[in-house]
Structure 1
């Protein structure tokens, strides 16, 4: 009944309304789902999921195994309790020292993030080391709220080596 009435309206409708009516015909009216009693019962199945679980990504990064030396040159954080500051490693156990390139590559900033403890002491010692190694003044900035130290210039490898020497 519904279909014949709609087809009759489609044929008699002006051309501007036919597209709209044809779209309505494409939508099929579904029956409501059957009641829960009519559905089959769910039975638990004992399945070994170990083959699937090993393919899924891990939720956390595993802790690295202790070795005398790593092929990549990476060193684990040893920690140095005699220092009043520390630099927390990133989630992937890497040193949080980054190069920020700004103004189309003209301005380069070395950033040390995740500094804990006396951030000013770390800043003074690291700045003194960089100025002695490069024989020139290096502009720097400390952000106590965001816990990072920033140096003007590209000193990422020098900073990483200095942090590794200290066991951070």
Structure 2
């Protein structure tokens, strides 16, 4: 309804000019912001861990991707764990994140060893790609155990 002495259009113009550019929103709940941030970091951690696990079986030089993803998973997992505790997530989430961090640590150590021992890993991968029999595969594994760089 229009007020006395004004038209409906004038009332609409006044309310539009009063609210133009000033959106009234309630302040965000700090607990909700913490929980949202923790969920984001948990997702990043899980994606990086999954990517590292899937790429760890690749041959050199692609195994370096697994190492980078595993290192990122470690960092994201620590951040996610701290944020999950701060957001008061259930204990199961904190425990699962801790177990995921342990898995990321083992994956990082194994992949880093493969990359650091590049010549040995390359020799083993070449040997296994040529091995057609179980005996040939066993010979390749024996060469890996002895860190044989020159044997084939």
The structure with the larger Rg is 1
TM-score by length of 2: 0.25
More strand by share: 1
Taking structure 1 as the reference length, the TM-score comes to: 0.23
Higher helix content, 1 or 2: 2
